[in-house]
Structure formats: C-alpha cells, structure tokens
C-alpha cells in the first residue's frame, strides 16, 4: 500500500472482502470486472449504494489508474440508475480516506445516494435494513444499468 500520513481505522478482517467473496451475505446490484456495486444496509439516502473495487485497496491513494477509471464509471452509472429508478431531487457522492475523514472500513468505497426529501443524506445513526430489503432495492435498480454490461452478482 502507498505510504502516506493517513491514519486508517483499526485493522480487522475486511468486511467488504468477506461480502465480495460471498463469505457474508450482502445485496449486490452488480459485480463485474474490477468493481462491485452493493446496497448498504445503512441507508443514508434513497437509495444508498456503495461502489467498491473488487481488489482490496485501503484508500483512494492505492488505486491503479484502471481501477480509478472503472470505479468512476460505476459511480456515474449508479447515479444514473438512482435517478431513473427513484427520481430523487439530488444525488450525493462521497468517499472517505482515514479515520479523521470518517472512513470506518479499510477498503476504499464510494457512496452514491439519492437525497432525502428534506435534502442531503442522513449522517447520524441509521437502522440497518435486513438483507431481504436491500435485495429488493437491488432488484429495483438493476434494470437501469447499461444492458450491454456483463453482470455477475453471484
């Protein structure tokens, strides 16, 4: 990993790697090539998706140029899908690196969320949705991804 001054959260087994390897259940909108799009159980927007590299990378500083390109394309496609499926008044995109930036999992990820009716997204504590409910969100949004893209959510 890249040497930097970023203070990362405590090292633990990576939850995202466990989801990506299907060792723990999680709702995937799509998984292909170098990226995956997941529906987080902590819905901070309507809806709230996570775009992650499949390879374990701790921060944005660790990404290759190809991974950056693939991730940003997927972030854009997630925003388009949210817009088409949910027609929210806005879409928020954010990404955190280091504890002081509120990174809690040592695996780079982008948040893409439709804004709430009151504006913005929820930053406080939110209830975790069951996997069955996040899978319904994934099912609602999947048809709005480019049909030419290969999708391997299993």
**DSSP 3-state assignment of 49?**
strand
Given this model, what pLDDT does residue 135 score? 98
Contact between 148 and 27 under an 8 Å Cβ cutoff? The reply is no
Please state, in angstroms and rounded to a whole number, the distance separating the CA atoms of residues 38 and 49: 6
> Which tens digits make up the pLDDT trace of 116-142?
999 999 988 999 999 999 999 999 999
* pLDDT, averaged across the chain: 91
* Rounded CA separation 44/125 (Å): 9
Residue 103, CB-side half-sphere exposure with 13 Å CA sphere: 24
Residue 154: its pLDDT value, please?
Answer: 53
pTM: 0.90
pLDDT of residue 152: 61
pLDDT, tens digit, for every residue of 52-76? 999 999 989 999 999 999 999 999 9
Residue with token string 């299993």: 154
Of 131, 139, 99, the residue nearest 26 (C-alpha): 131
Tokens of 117: 């009716």
Structure tokens at 136: 């319904």
Predicted confidence (pLDDT) at residue 24 exceeds the cutoff of 80 = yes
């Amino acid at each position: 990993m890249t040497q930097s001054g970023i203070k990362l959260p405590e090292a633990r087994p990576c939850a995202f790697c466990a989801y990506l390897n299907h060792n723990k259940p999680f709702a995937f909108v799509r998984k292909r090539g170098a990226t995956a799009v997941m529906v987080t159980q902590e819905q901070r927007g309507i809806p709230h998706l996570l775009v992650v590299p499949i390879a374990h990378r701790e921060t944005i500083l660790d990404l290759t140029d190809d991974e950056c390109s693939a991730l940003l394309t997927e972030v854009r496609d997630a925003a388009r899908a949210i817009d088409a499926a949910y027609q929210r008044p806005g879409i928020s995109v954010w990404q955190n690196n280091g504890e002081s930036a509120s990174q809690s999992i040592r695996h780079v990820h982008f948040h893409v969320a439709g804004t709430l009716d009151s504006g913005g997204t929820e930053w406080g504590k939110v209830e975790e949705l069951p996997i069955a409910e996040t899978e319904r969100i994934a099912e609602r949004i999947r048809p709005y991804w480019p049909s030419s893209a290969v999708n391997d959510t299993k």
